[in-house]
Amino acid sequence: MSNLHITSLDKDYSGHQVLHGINLNVDSGEFVVFVGPSGCGKSTLLRTIAGLEDASGGSINIDARDVTRVDPAERGIAMVFQTYALYPHMTVEENMAFGLEMSGMSKAERKQTVAQVAETLHLSDYLPRKPRQLSGGQRQRVAIGRAIVRNPKIFLFDEPLSNLDAELRVKMRMEISALHQRLGATMIYVTHDQVEAMTLADKIVVLRDGRIEQVGAPMDLYADPDNAFVAGFIGSPKINFLQAQVTGRSADGGALVTVPRLGLKNLEVKPRGGMVDIGATVTLGLRPEHFGAPGQGRGPAVTLIADAVENLGSVSYAHAGPDAEEPVVVEVKDQATLAPGGAVTAEVLSGRAFLFDADGRRL
Ligand SMILES: Nc1ncnc2c1ncn2[C@@H]1O[C@H](COP(=O)(O)OP(=O)(O)OP(=O)(O)O)[C@@H](O)[C@H]1O
Ligand SMILES: [Mg+2]
């Protein structure tokens, strides 16, 4: 178990800056997930931590030792890639033992270490096979096993499950979570998958254009985002952003807003801090699940026409708005009969809504 401190880390590729002054602390035993749009620098950050890329500025410390200029092999880091990167001509056993041979461990010790790890990963029966004789999930387990046998200080995973089908992904996700608990290891994990990020992470780091937008526990990012980017990135289906105007204040300091798209006036929303200027044009952030069943008295009711409906079984999503604007997405429960063209009535649970200024900052 090791901790990691990244200070003012920059990375540029021949003058094109990809990481801008990254500051990040990862505690010992923590599971940290990096998320962000394609090209925002997640893999670059991971590879720079591993030493596969040189930092252009700033420092990386592992357990208070500055490793910024240290050879990758000496950082005590193991990385698992999306493409598994197994040697096709080697057996599972040889693949897993490969890193150990380089570290000078005796043959008998290597065999024992590999056998132990193979057992915990349910790979014992596959040790003599070549990678091409394995399923995708088994190959991924070999790649993870190869990392575990090295007993690294920190595990880095770059989208390790994205080549697997949905069912296997769920299974491997649970296995990685169990592995983390069993080893108590420090892990950093890159994913595009919302569910993986929300369920695996102690802490999520949201990146955008090589900068950190927000760091926090999954539910904190979800329920209390710092800005519209984070609100839009965390949560599926995506949050609705609706133009609104502040028209007054409620007795207890809430903002009263008019939301033309929903035909609502004087909707009360609690800003995160301070007062919001009356007359200001703002953006209301309202998640699909911030629309509740009608008749509960939890907020003003709105009726929208569902232009498209996604029925997922336990829940449906109504997409309202055929015009040029983005549709408003409303979560509907217990209404399996909802069909396109049908009316959806829901209460707006504005107590859980967010307000953002014109620059996307949370108000
Ligand atoms: N070796 C390289 N030389 C030049 N530019 C690079 C190199 N590697 C990455 N980049 C650039 O750095 C930026 C960040 O890339 P990176 O691979 O870190 O993104 P990412 O967040 O991992 O994206 P994805 O989700 O698609 O994997 C991109 O604009 C990319 O084109
Ligand atoms: Mg990447």
How much is the pLDDT for 206? Answer: 97
- 363 falls within a domain: no
Among 348, 347, 354, 346, smallest CA distance to 254 is for 354
Domain containing residue 311: CATH number: 2.40.50.140
Report the nearest-CA residue for atom 29 of ligand 1: 39
Q: What is the pLDDT of residues 121-131, one digit of tens each?
A: 889 999 999 99
Ligand 2 mean position, distance from CA 82 (Å): 9
CB count in 10 Å sphere of residue 11 = 22
Q: Residue 162's domain is classified under what CATH number?
A: 3.40.50.300
- State how many domains the chain has: 2
Per-residue pLDDT of 195-231, as tens digits, reads 899 999 999 999 999 999 999 999 999 999 999 999 9
Q: What is the pLDDT of residue 274?
A: 72
- pLDDT at position 73, please? 87
Nearest atom within ligand 1 for CA of residue 36: 21
| CB-based contact 245:269 (threshold 8 Å) | no
Pocket test for ligand 1, best of 11, 44, 206, 212 (most atoms within 8 A of CB): 44
Q: Are residues 267 and 326 in the same domain?
A: yes
Evaluate whether 291 touches 348 at the Cβ level (below 8 Å). Answer: yes
Report CA-CA distances (Å) from 278 to 85, 229, 250, 255, 257. Answer: 58, 24, 11, 8, 9
Please give the Cα distance from 182 to 119 (Å, whole number): 14
Cβ-Cβ contacts under 8 Å for 318 (sequence gap 6 or more): 304, 306, 308, 309, 329, 330, 332, 338, 342, 344
> Which pLDDT score, from 0 to 100, does residue 359 have?
93
Write out pLDDT tens, residues 60-85.
Answer: 999 999 999 999 989 999 999 888 88
| Structural domain that includes position 324 | 240-356
Q: Which residues of the chain have pLDDT under 70?
A: 322-324, 335-336
By CB neighbour count within 10 A (0-12 exposed, 13-18 middle, 19+ buried), where does 20 fall? middle
Whether 362 maps to a domain, the answer reads no
> In a 3-state reduction of DSSP, which class is residue 77?
strand
43 domain-assigned: yes
Q: Are 166 and 193 in contact (CB under 8 A)?
A: no
